[in-house]
Chains A and B, each alone.
Chain A
């Protein structure tokens, strides 16, 4: 007999319910499943665990993973070990938030709606863009959907994707473009600076170009020249889409000030744990002109019957549940709780705190850069300025990673997989959490000290 704390109805309840329906057994409720397709067996799944047994099992699994609580994480490449203040987890643990769904009934969902409106406001202020949506799945899919917006808005078919975009972003974008027979045009990077090759970019952009995509800082951590890339995009009538690290905007000029039409990014650094790759959130902000092409949920302010302010989901005629095949995107569930984490994080850090975090990242990354590139056999292949992440070239990454593991340090990834010409080079990401002692230990380990 099944006994589960999640199933309240007893055998007596079930009998009374069946009586009300006028049936004598539960099986009769499934009589509409044709014999040909009915499953008669017993699913081959593990037997149920009690809560105690489950906790023990899950702790055993969790113990076999290297967590940032025990390891110094210098890994980058799209997810970052930033500090998450205690308040974030506390607010996210409010089950009025996490057990709700999309606020279809705004009168009993003002908490979620107002927090989305606040999130949208913070994202527009951070990026200096006009409008923000309520979130996308992650940075990569946000950029892919931005490319689709650009193709729809310009009625053009080509998207310029520099090799300085993360390989994972480019793979995601290719998948999104493939269905509609849209084309990604790759542009090389300058092997000296690590930045997008602007001459090659200029050649690649033409009257078929729907969008020029740029990551700033790029996958190598290098700062680009977004002003110039935007100028080249606009000269050809293309949409300029930029992916930014939200933490970098504590110090760097926001996309709205260098002509971005759409700003996207991975929102994980804003108060979301690394969680082995997800759930994260993609943020997406755009110019006023593109608001009716934005995908996904958008919250707006309005008034109620008494004239008091309140919040609703709005401009829903863009969305799949209203427009079906004419929708701007198929997105329905987004990453609302992760966006809430971002809103709480930005509230906590505030105007000054975000700058301070960015300054710490900058200083520690530059200290690490200096230490690592001074090691015998190690060098910096790229000369461009960087924020919190950079590339180091060394003799044998695999051997070094092994030495570092003994020191409980993680660094990378090795760039060889995505860029064969960069074999032996690897990424180093340095957040505000890394201490001087950890950076020194990283240098010692890399340099061959036992």
Chain B
């Protein structure tokens, strides 16, 4: 090890630790008759040389990945106000229960009578999500939010086609929407039409009227939207789209704000996806796994992917008998292990607890917004929901400090940065979502760091533009990474 202190400047790649003959595994010797691969497999199909995987000892592997973990920020280390991602605390008991033998080590094709516990859990989860979302039927199959979007839009298209409306091919998407919405519409074979936001941050009603015609398949809406604002005209919007013969799709990325206060199904949404890894506390895993169940109104229930879980008396079963199903979106039944954690969360919180979650999330966001508004511009200065979007335009215009610099300086202060430069309609956007699991003291400390950075931008801007200075690596050259892609190790790493 080439380190010179407790904190190593660089952790070598696992391949650099490799030495021929080292091993980190122990396997039993074979208890069956010998079997020569060259005898039972076609010779021309045999691998000539083993894959060049590392040759390391077990302690090498453990230290390597432990050290890597230490070079990473997570919710368990500190505040992670990444807007629209709902980086709330991930309860530990949920990890424990998902790891139970009877959940983690069960083959998906085990006969139904030997997996009644798993099926019961899934059935109950479907029921809970119906209640929380105000919908009639739920599939747990989609593996993430965007996967849920694809499932939902595919359901809408199939439903419309069954009504002789197969020509409807337009998906209306507000300019504040997540990038997954337009990308989903195109993958599902639709065209996208963008609608503007109005001065209060909601869907511009006149623009919507202008595009809501006989070719509309659906409107995809996040509510509260990515500005953290609840669309006050939602009933009007629903009416316009429905009158045009289109359906309403609810992107559930921001559902943490409304549990117990509003249900998408009651507000006219026909299809809803839930992000179990946001609203229901399952960990984000460094980029997944997520889980993106989709709920629908009665008329659309026959179009869900199969199987869904049904109940007959006391017996739970996998129901493949949906004649109009869109088919499958993945193997088996969804990210079951993630569903277990979300189920445990709902059972821990109960109905009042989930409502309190929404209250505390919204309270935290508004509290933080008032503090941050002292030094940063707010384009939409009204009560927000679970998140808000501040802007670094003052710092940019007055001191030449960009939002990216502010984000990097926050890392020096021990905080993960908010989502930046999104939504696209706010210049120099800082999208901040504190979540309900942060104490008032944490929020105060973050506000204080933001205030200090605002002062630094004024007095010592180079401190901000030169950030971060205290991280394992300094600001990374992303342009070079894209210009000279180095996507797999071939013996050396880029140098200056």
- Summarize B's interface: helix, strand, loop or mixed: loop
A165 to B474, CA, bound (A): 47
A69 to B105, CA, bound (A): 7
A251 to B54, CA, bound (A): 17
A69 to B27, CA, bound (A): 17
- With A21-B367, A101-B287, A355-B50 known as contacts, the answer to whether A96 contacts B70 (CB < 8 A) is yes
Say yes or no: is B379 at the interface (Cβ < 8 Å to chain A): no
**Mask of A192-220 contacts with B, CB within 8 angstroms, 1/0:** 00000000000000000000000000000
B45 to chain A, nearest CB (A): 5
A81 to B334, CA, bound (A): 18
A109 to B23, CA, bound (A): 28
**Mask of B17-49 contacts with A, CB within 8 angstroms, 1/0:** 010001111011011111101001110111110
B:159-216 near A, CB below 8 Å: 178-180, 182-190, 192
Contact, CB under 8 Å: B286 / A340: yes
CB-CB under 8 A from B23, the residues of chain A are 350, 352-353
Contact, CB under 8 Å: A266 / B337: no
CB-CB under 8 A from B87, the residues of chain A are 101
Can you offer 13 A-B residue contacts whose CB atoms are under 8 A? A2-B353, A17-B364, A26-B362, A34-B233, A48-B349, A108-B73, A223-B45, A251-B41, A251-B47, A275-B98, A291-B485, A305-B477, A360-B28
The closest CB in chain B to the CB of A124 belongs to B488
B277 to chain A, nearest CB (A): 7
Contact, CB under 8 Å: A300 / B15: no
Contact, CB under 8 Å: A4 / B353: yes
CB-CB under 8 A from A252, the residues of chain B are 41, 45-47
A18 to B330, CA, bound (A): 45
The closest CB in chain A to the CB of B253 belongs to A332
B165 to chain A, nearest CB (A): 15
Q: Classify chain A's interface size.
A: 35 or more
Contact, CB under 8 Å: B488 / A132: yes
Say yes or no: is A155 at the interface (Cβ < 8 Å to chain B): no
A338 to chain B, nearest CB (A): 6
Binds B, one of A178-186, A231-239, A374-382: A178-186
Name the contact of A75 in the complex, choosing from B44, B109, B149, B179 (C-beta under 8 A): B109
7 nearest interchain CB pairs?
A307-B496, A277-B332, A62-B102, A64-B117, A111-B72, A48-B350, A337-B285
CB-CB under 8 A from B80, the residues of chain A are 99, 101
B128 to chain A, nearest CB (A): 6
A59 to B101, CA, bound (A): 9
B:447-484 near A, CB below 8 Å: 468, 471-478, 480-482
Name the contact of A325 in the complex, choosing from B120, B182, B189, B281 (C-beta under 8 A): B182
Binds A, one of B293-301, B390-398, B434-442: B434-442
CB-CB under 8 A from B494, the residues of chain A are 301-303, 309
Contact, CB under 8 Å: B331 / A166: yes
Contact, CB under 8 Å: A87 / B496: no
Please give 8 more A-B residue pairs, beta carbons under 8 A apart, in addition to A107-B408, A276-B106: A49-B350, A97-B285, A111-B69, A179-B157, A253-B46, A273-B105, A312-B478, A325-B185
- With A110-B72, A327-B179 known as contacts, the answer to whether A101 contacts B56 (CB < 8 A) is no
B82 to chain A, nearest CB (A): 6
A329 to chain B, nearest CB (A): 7
The closest CB in chain A to the CB of B382 belongs to A32
Q: How many A-B residue pairs have CB under 8 A?
A: 725
Say yes or no: is A240 at the interface (Cβ < 8 Å to chain B): no
The closest CB in chain B to the CB of A349 belongs to B25
Contact, CB under 8 Å: B103 / A276: yes
The interface centre, meaning the residue of A34, A59, A106 with most chain B CB atoms within 10 A of its CB, is A34
CB-CB under 8 A from B334, the residues of chain A are 277-278
Say yes or no: is B11 at the interface (Cβ < 8 Å to chain A): yes
Contact, CB under 8 Å: A301 / B187: no
The interface centre, meaning the residue of A9, A108, A176 with most chain B CB atoms within 10 A of its CB, is A108
B457 to chain A, nearest CB (A): 19
CB-CB under 8 A from A178, the residues of chain B are 154, 189, 326-327
- With A43-B131, A179-B187, A278-B334 known as contacts, the answer to whether A353 contacts B27 (CB < 8 A) is yes
CB-CB under 8 A from A135, the residues of chain B are 288
A309 to B69, CA, bound (A): 17
Name the contact of A432 in the complex, choosing from B27, B41, B331, B487 (C-beta under 8 A): B27
Say yes or no: is B406 at the interface (Cβ < 8 Å to chain A): no
A97 to B71, CA, bound (A): 10
CB-CB under 8 A from B154, the residues of chain A are 175, 178-179
B121 to chain A, nearest CB (A): 5
Say yes or no: is B14 at the interface (Cβ < 8 Å to chain A): yes
A55 to B337, CA, bound (A): 16
A:218-274 near B, CB below 8 Å: 223, 226-227, 249-254, 266, 273-274
A296 to chain B, nearest CB (A): 9
Contact, CB under 8 Å: B107 / A73: yes
Contact, CB under 8 Å: A276 / B118: yes
Contact, CB under 8 Å: B32 / A439: yes
**Mask of B239-271 contacts with A, CB within 8 angstroms, 1/0:** 000000000000000000011111100111000
Contact, CB under 8 Å: B335 / A304: no
A385 to B373, CA, bound (A): 69
- With A96-B74, A276-B336, A347-B61 known as contacts, the answer to whether A26 contacts B351 (CB < 8 A) is no
Contact, CB under 8 Å: B101 / A62: yes
Say yes or no: is B445 at the interface (Cβ < 8 Å to chain A): no
A95 to B362, CA, bound (A): 26
Contact, CB under 8 Å: A385 / B363: no
Contact, CB under 8 Å: A132 / B68: no
The closest CB in chain B to the CB of A80 belongs to B107
A406 to chain B, nearest CB (A): 12
CB-CB under 8 A from B98, the residues of chain A are 275
CB-CB under 8 A from B104, the residues of chain A are 67, 273-275
A360 to B37, CA, bound (A): 11
Contact, CB under 8 Å: B69 / A106: no
Contact, CB under 8 Å: B232 / A110: no
- With A101-B87, A432-B27 known as contacts, the answer to whether A134 contacts B68 (CB < 8 A) is no
Contact, CB under 8 Å: B354 / A45: yes
CB-CB under 8 A from B143, the residues of chain A are 137-138, 141, 278-279, 333, 335
Contact, CB under 8 Å: B114 / A45: no
**Mask of A27-53 contacts with B, CB within 8 angstroms, 1/0:** 011111110111100111111110100
Contact, CB under 8 Å: B327 / A171: yes
The interface centre, meaning the residue of B9, B76, B333 with most chain A CB atoms within 10 A of its CB, is B76
Contact, CB under 8 Å: A304 / B50: no
A168 to B80, CA, bound (A): 38
The closest CB in chain A to the CB of B128 belongs to A45
CB-CB under 8 A from B153, the residues of chain A are 179
The interface centre, meaning the residue of A65, A140, A335 with most chain B CB atoms within 10 A of its CB, is A65
Contact, CB under 8 Å: B287 / A181: no
The interface centre, meaning the residue of A28, A310, A349, A363 with most chain B CB atoms within 10 A of its CB, is A310
